[in-house]
Amino acid sequence: MIGRDRQVAGGIRRRMVVAAAMMMTAAAAVGVLPVSAGSAAAQEARKGGTLSIILQPEPVTLTPSTNMAQPTQVVAGNIFDGLVAYDFDLKPKPALAERWEVAPDGLTITFHLRSGVKWHDGKPFSAADVKWSLENIWKTIHPRNKSLFENVTQVDTPDDSTVILRLSKPSLPILSVLNGVGAPILPKHLYEGTDILNNPYNNKPVGTGPFVFKEWKRGEYVELARNPDYWEAGKPYLDRLLFRIIPDAAARAAAIEKGEIQYAPYNPVPFRDAERLSKLPRLKVDTRGYEWLSPLLYLDFNVENQYLKDVRVRRAIAHAIDRAALAKIVWFGYAKPAISPVPSSLVTFHNAKLPQYPFDVKKAEALLDEAGFKRDANGVRFTLTHDFLPYGDDYRRTGEFLKQALKRVGIEVTIRSQDSAAFIKRVYVDRDFDFAISYNNAFPDPQIGVVRAFWSGWLGTGTPWTNGSGYRNARADALIQEAGVEGDPAKRVAEFNEFQDIVLGDVPSLPLLELNFFSVYSADLQGIVEQGDQVYSSLKNARFVDAPKAN
């Protein structure tokens, strides 16, 4: 309780300072004066209030060191600050690092850290924490980062606020993963010498972020409180974040509608309900804030299948699918047709001048005829089995959509459903499938989330969400390898352009849709979506413009 009292005292002290500067606002925050909605003072920087947030499903842990599940990252983004954050164009902007330099040869990256930053337990944050986290987490146990930090041979900390990464080969994608969940910095003084995976602080995290962990009541909520010593003066605005666990979608929709929940990220309700909620004046539905993830829905063809090994058949299937209709009907417009495995949100790398597969049933039929698969008496050319990622009805309906689309060109499809463990084993381990739907987050650099679906080095490893099609192309492999260690950004773009050209020509994996996740939040809130990695970042800019509703 001592820690808690200290925080409360800190909060009061801060309020007094603010009150001196801005009487009206501060008075409103402590509830002395009622402020009418929309008044100028309230619009400026209203402080205080509890923000209730949907957390779905309940996380397994609250520290994003090995478990990269979405709910873990949604909470952790508020507790852990990263070296940088990302704007809507996915460019890094300062956070714990005030500035950074990459040497022209790409072999040295220097970070200059903000000074005076404190961990939530009062200990000072320093370069040693970054060095320790890099060596013990990013490079070793963090599932996405291992390959990116592989070439970091040495980390120097000449003083408490400088970190120098020395690399054997350049690794530019590092600069795309340095936010609080992509490269989490954990307190060395609490983790050093312990079993990192079972450290008790994993479930009562201590970070440097704008909100301090208070309580996790399993099955009910995770509570965070304002960090009064946060390095960014005046922030955060809110007193408390309450992440509530509501497993039922209908109950979530009702809670949002009633105003009990004011912020709900990650598709909290079915698409059709989102449509309905977006029409209510009190609520906003927003698809921004997910740019850092760039989720892509794709169709993996098993290139060892007797029909699908023929590239003409794969191209025919690509022509037979009306991706605009798929986006509109199955995904209710919360998606847009994808034309490249590199999503268009990766502005630097996305190449729009590529082989295209417009919806064209005649062309599809012609390609299948050319491949020698004629229609039989029943109009069937051949039969394929389809497996869909068992992540919910949207994926099942995508499978049903494909079944009907391919029926039109004479391909009979049998849909097979299974649980996610069986799906992963079937597609990535046993390779006992014909074609399957799945989705991957691309992240800001193709090296992180895109090339894994095409690099032959993943074959035989059984790693989920890697090369599912069984594709092998020496040139594509070479380009992936080169771009991984290329120090010149312009050359990397050229390499990725050629890469996209090759894999779209061969279509071992057909990009279907760029998915748009959405958040629902109260119109009373401001500053909810301010950056490209918002959902995995903090709500330090969030504030109520109206008096928050009582809970």
Partner 1 sequence: MALPDTASLPPTRTDFRDRTVGRLLRRPSALVGLILLAGILAMAGFADIAFPGDPLDMAGTPLLRPGDAAEFPLGTDMMGRDLASGIFHGARVSLLIGGVAALVSLVIGIGIGALSGYYGGRVDRALMRVTELFQTIPPFLFTLALVAILQPSIATITTAIGITSWSGLARLVRAEVLRLRNSELAQASIILGASDARIIFLHILPNTLAPVIVSASILVATAILTESSLSFLGLGDPNVVSWGGMVGAGRETIRTDPHVAAIPGVAIVIAVLALNLLGDGLNDVLNGKGERR
Residues that bind partner 1 (CB under 8 A): 249-250, 253, 270-273, 275-276, 329-330, 390, 393, 396-397, 399-401, 403-404, 407, 414-419, 422
Q: Quote the DSSP letter at residue 138.
A: I
Q: Which residues contact 286 (CB under 8 A, 6 or more apart)?
A: 518, 519, 520, 521, 528, 529
In this structure, the strands spanning 97-102 and 108-113 are antiparallel
Shortest distance (Å) from residue 405 CB to partner 1: 9
Shortest distance (Å) from residue 329 CB to partner 1: 6
Taking alpha carbons only, the member of 183, 185, 235 closest to residue 207 is: 185
**Measured from the CB atom, is 103 or 324 closer to partner 1?**
324
**Which single residue is written with the structure tokens 């279509």?**
507
In this structure, the strands spanning 211-217 and 411-416 are unpaired
Shortest distance (Å) from residue 403 CB to partner 1: 7
**Measured from the CB atom, is 480 or 515 closer to partner 1?**
515
Neighbours of 250 (CB within 10 A): 11
Shortest distance (Å) from residue 276 CB to partner 1: 5
- CA dihedral (530, 349, 492, 448) positive or negative: positive
Helix and strand counts by DSSP (H, E) for the chain: 17, 21
**Measured from the CB atom, is 420 or 461 closer to partner 1?**
420
Taking alpha carbons only, the member of 213, 211, 210 closest to residue 200 is: 213
Exposure pattern of 148-162 as b/e (b: 16+ CB <10 Å)?
A: bbebbeebebeeebe
Residue 352 main-chain phi, psi, to 5 deg:
-85, -15
Q: Which residues contact 549 (CB under 8 A, 6 or more apart)?
A: 259, 260, 262, 524
Shortest distance (Å) from residue 215 CB to partner 1: 33
**Measured from the CB atom, is 214 or 403 closer to partner 1?**
403
Shortest distance (Å) from residue 335 CB to partner 1: 15
**Measured from the CB atom, is 306 or 417 closer to partner 1?**
417
Report whether 141 contacts 197 (CB < 8 A): yes
**Measured from the CB atom, is 189 or 276 closer to partner 1?**
276
**Measured from the CB atom, is 4 or 408 closer to partner 1?**
408
Q: Tell which phi-psi region holds residue 392, choosing left (phi > 0), alpha (psi between -120 and 50) or beta.
A: left
**Measured from the CB atom, is 273 or 546 closer to partner 1?**
273
**Measured from the CB atom, is 305 or 398 closer to partner 1?**
398
> With the CA atoms of 296, 302, 308 and 312 taken in that order, what torsion angle do they form, in degrees rounded to the nearest 10?
40
What's the token pair of residue 153?
A: 């041979």
**Measured from the CB atom, is 346 or 405 closer to partner 1?**
405
**Measured from the CB atom, is 317 or 367 closer to partner 1?**
317
Shortest distance (Å) from residue 436 CB to partner 1: 14
Shortest distance (Å) from residue 272 CB to partner 1: 5
Which residues lie across from 522 on neighbouring strands?
Answer: 283
Shortest distance (Å) from residue 330 CB to partner 1: 7
Which residues lie across from 161 on neighbouring strands?
Answer: none
Packed helices 361-370 and 311-320: angle between N→C axes, nearest 10 degrees:
160
The residue ranges of DSSP E strands in 290-376, in sequence order, are: 295-301, 335-337
Shortest distance (Å) from residue 412 CB to partner 1: 10
Q: Is the peptide bond before 57 cis (omega within 30 degrees of 0)?
A: yes
Shortest distance (Å) from residue 414 CB to partner 1: 6
What's the token pair of residue 266?
A: 């990650």
Report whether 264 contacts 520 (CB < 8 A): yes
**Measured from the CB atom, is 407 or 431 closer to partner 1?**
407
Shortest distance (Å) from residue 297 CB to partner 1: 17
Report whether 467 contacts 458 (CB < 8 A): yes
